[in-house]
Structure 1
C-alpha cells in the first residue's frame, strides 16, 4: 500500500519492477523516454512525471500502456537534469526543493517536445497527461497550448495550480476520495471555478476510497481491493484521449 505517513504530495506507493519497452532519446536540452506502438500513428501523448522524476518505472509503465493503445508516448525530463525527489530525502526541505521545480515553469520544455513529436515522429494530434506535480503542469499547459487536443490531470495537486480555469481544450481531472493532500473541498472549488470559467468540455471525477497516487502508484496484483478503481481510472483516461484526439 502507499505510505501515507509521509508528509509528501505524491506517495511512493508500489515502485514497479519494470524495465520499459521504449528507449531514451535526447530532445534538445533534455532527455526523454520514448515509446511507440507497432503500427504507424500520428497521435501522441506527452506524459508528465510526478516528483520522483522521468525515470520512475511506474510512469514508463503508463507510457507503454498508452503505446499499446496506439499512441506515441513520451516522458520528458521536466526537471531539466535536476535531481528528482527521493523517498530518503528530508521532508522538511520539500517546499524549498519544489520552488526550484515549478510546475508552471514548463513552457520551454513543452515547446521542444512538441517540435520533436511533430518533426521526428510525424505527430499531428497530441494530448498531455500528468501525475501529481505533472497533473498541476497539465492544468498550466491546457491554459496556454491549443496544440493539446486533450489533457488529463491525475491527482494534480490543486495548491500547485494557478487561479485560472479558462482551459483551451477538453480536460479530465482525476482525484481520489481519500487523498489527504487534495481535500474534497478543494476539488469542489476547482469544479465550481471550471463551471464558471471553462468554455470547453471538462470532467472532474472522484474515485471512492482511493488515496493519492492510486492510478500509477498502486499495482492491481498486490492491491486487489483497489483494482476496480485503478482499472476504471486508466480506462477513463484512455477514453478521454480517444474521444478528443
Structure 2
C-alpha cells in the first residue's frame, strides 16, 4: 500500500455515514466512496462541533501574497491590537473551511493573531470534490512543498503588516498541514515554534514533495510539538517512534521538540466536525498547543 493509499484509508470512515447536504462550506462526514465537502452537521456531530464567538475580534477573509500572485486566507485577532504573537494555521486536505476558521478564532480569543492561508488556491476548490482519491489526484498532489512554504512566508508577511509581530511567529497544521509544519521547521528560520497535528512523517516522494519530514528531523531550526493518534491507520506507530529517536540525536531545536502519542486514538482526532473527533485527546492536545506557543512565541 502506498503512502497516499494509507492516507486515503485514514481519512475514510470504515462504514458509510450519509448525512443530508447543505451549503455550510466545510466537510462534515462521508461515505466509503469519499467525502463531500459541504455537508452540515446533524445529530451527534452537530452536538460536538465547536463554534467560537467572534466577539471582540477582527476577522475575515483577506488577500495576501505578492501583487502578481495573490491568494485568499482567513485571519482572526483581538480587535484593534498590534504586536501580537502570530500563528499560521495550515489546513487539512479540504482547504480553509469553517473548522479551520474556527481554530483561528480560538487562537485569537487567547490573545494570538491567527492566519490561515488557502494553500490550494492555484490548484482549485477542494469543496467541489466528493471523492478523496479525486481530491488527492487533482488538488493535493499538485501543491508543491516549495509553493506551500512560499505561501506560509507570504502569510507571515501579511500578518506582520496587519498587527502581528514578525519576531513572534509560529505555525500549526492539521493532517496535510501537519506535515508542512515539520518541513517549515527546517526551512523557515524566522519562525519560533510549531505544532504538528497528525501530520504524515513519511509520504510519497515525488517532484512536488521531494522529502519526508523524517529526513529533516535532525535539522530543525525551532522546536515542534507533534500530536499523534496511536490508532491512526495512515501513520504507523513505528514511524512516530523513529521520528522521536531522530529528533533526540539532532540539532538543539530538534532535541527540544516533543511528540505525544495518544493511545487508541484515530487520525483527525481534533476535527470536531467529523466522526473521528475524540474529546479527551483533542482537549489535551489543544491545551498543550497553547502552552507550546506561550513558551516559544510569547
- Residues 134 and 223 of structure 1, relative CA distance in 2, 3 Å threshold: closer
Residue matched to 1:89: 131
- Higher Cα Rg: structure 1 or 2? 2
Q: Considering only aligned residues, what root-mean-square deviation do their CA atoms show, in Å?
A: 2.8
Q: TM-score, normalised by structure 2?
A: 0.71
SS in structure 1 at match of 2:196: strand
Deviates more, 1:184-193 or 1:153-162: 153-162
The equivalent of 2:177 in structure 1 is 134
Q: Tell me if structure 2 keeps the 8 A contact 1:36–1:67.
A: yes
Post-superposition CA distance 1:42-92 (Å, at most 9, x none) = 2111000010001x1111111111001100001001112423545612626
Report if aligned partners of 2:178, 2:196 keep a CA contact under 8 Å in 1. Answer: yes
- Report the CA distance between 1:159 and its aligned residue: 1.9
DSSP-derived class of the 1:234 partner: helix
Query: Closer, same or farther in 2 for the Cα pair 1:192/1:88, shift >3 Å?
Result: same
What stretches of structure 1 of length at least 5 have no aligned partner? none
Higher mean displacement: 17-26 or 182-191: 17-26
- For residue 263 of structure 2, what is the aligned residue in structure 1? 208
CA distance in 2, matches of 1:82, 1:117: 24
Matched residues in 1 for 2:223 and 2:50: separation? 33
Gaps of 5+ in 2: 1-5, 13-26, 30-40, 42-48, 204-211
1:118 Cα shift?
1.4
Count of equivalent residues: 237
How far apart, CA to CA, are the structure 2 residues paired with 1:94 and 1:109? 19
The reply to whether residue 27 of structure 1 matches residue 64 of structure 2 is: yes
Quote the residue 2:206 is aligned against.
none
Correspondences of 1:74-85 after superposition (within 5 Å):
74-85=115-126
Aligned pair partner of 2:88 in 32, 46, 57: 46
Q: Secondary structure at the residue paired with 1:25?
A: strand
Q: Which residue of 2 aligns with 1:64?
A: 105
TM-score (norm 1): 0.85
> Which of 146, 156, 179 in structure 1 is aligned with 2:232?
179
